[in-house]
Amino acid sequence: MNTKKDILAIAKDSITIESKAIANLIKFLNKDFENAVKFILKSKGRVIVTGIGKSANIASKVVATLNSTGTPAIFMHAADAIHGDLGIVQKDDVVICISKSGNTPEIKVLLPLIKDSKNKIIAITGNKDSYLANKADFVINSYVEQEACPNNLAPTTSTTAQLVLGDALAICLLEMKDFTSKDFAKYHPGGTLGKRLYLRVADLIEKNTKPAVAPEDSITNVIIEISEKRLGATAVIKNHEVVGIITDGDIRRMLKNNDNFTQLSAKDIMGKNPKVITSEAMAIEALDIMESNNITQLLVVDDNSYMGVVHLHDLIKEGII
């Protein structure tokens, strides 16, 4: 039975083999890669990505990456394609075919059919002398010296190489299109990632209360306002403008430093020049301000008008943190 040391040694060897193979891919990048990117950019169709076996799994992931970065793509299993799914490929579509050997039977049947439809083929293959490489219009070399598998059989290093080259294609297309974080948000509206890119402060405070007191209000009124509105703070408003903020921390400090607070008012304990943010600011900006100033609330102000309070808990609830 392997010891813990043996297991870790095997894992390290596996990672080393794959990392060296990935680094080696750089020297294979040539005009074909560049021209493939340019052709996809000017194409009026979609990118169809196909493969067989483990390469099909990689093809599916490449499709997901392309779609999420602004390049319309569809997965087509090579075996299914020759049994009725070839209709996926339409005029002007570009086909990326992924295969380590480039000589699998399904690929040999599929390629002539694609060529007959005059669709361009981009090959990602580890065998530049293969049937696939010879039939393709652009060849991207994914050659690896050995699999991480000790028997050099299980697709490991080779599929990692395919995935990395697919990512490289997607990132090149992304940058050539000037694909921005706003564009990215359109394709990722759900989950934490999407919320970080599109959620605004206005979305966070729309259901929140708007705690507010006047500078002359008593401490009792201040405590009631903070307690009832449940946001841990209240704005201090004078002539319809924010002049300060009182947090529950300010209340605790006041109680610690004063035996009798009946003569005090809001203006005596408020923090002046509070940190504020506009309702149209991104939620992630609110988090940055809170973290950099070690605070848990921000007053929301638009054109000197008090809009409400955004709390750290609002960001946690939405999964921004």
Task: List, for residues 240-290, the tens digit of each pLDDT value.
Answer: 899 999 999 999 999 988 878 888 999 999 999 999 999 999 998 999 999
Cβ pair 104, 52 in contact under 8 A: yes
Q: Output the pLDDT for position 296.
A: 94
H or E element in which residue 238 lies: strand 233-238
**In degrees to the nearest 10, what's the CA dihedral of 168, 152, 108, 83?**
-90
Q: How far apart are CA 148 and CA 18, in angstroms?
A: 7
Task: List, for residues 222-252, the tens digit of each pLDDT value.
Answer: 999 999 999 999 999 999 899 999 999 999 9
pLDDT at 310 > cutoff 70: yes
Q: Output the pLDDT for position 261.
A: 83
Is pTM beyond 0.75? Reply is: no
Using pLDDT thresholds of 50, 70 and 90, give the confidence band for residue 3: low
Mean pLDDT of 73-96: 95
Residues 6+ apart with CB under 8 A from 259: none
Q: Output the pLDDT for position 192.
A: 61
**How far from 48 is each of 63, 157, 234, 243, CA to CA, in Å?**
8, 24, 56, 59
Cβ pair 146, 184 in contact under 8 A: no
Task: List, for residues 117-136, the tens digit of each pLDDT value.
Answer: 999 999 999 999 999 999 99
Going along the chain from its start, the domains and CATH numbers come out as: 4-179 (3.40.50.10490), 201-317 (3.10.580.10)
pLDDT at 1 > cutoff 80: no
Q: Quick check: helix, strand or coil at residue 237?
A: strand
DSSP state of 177: T
Q: How far apart are CA 174 and CA 184, in angstroms?
A: 10
What DSSP letter does each residue of 117-166 carry, written as one string? TT--EEEEES-TTSHHHHH-SEEEE---S--SSTTS-SSSHHHHHHHHHH
Mean pLDDT of 174-183: 82
3-state DSSP of 36-90: HHHHHHHCCCCEEEEECCHHHHHHHHHHHHHHHCCCCEEEEEHHHHCCCHHHHCC
Confirm or deny that 311 is annotated as ligand binding.
no
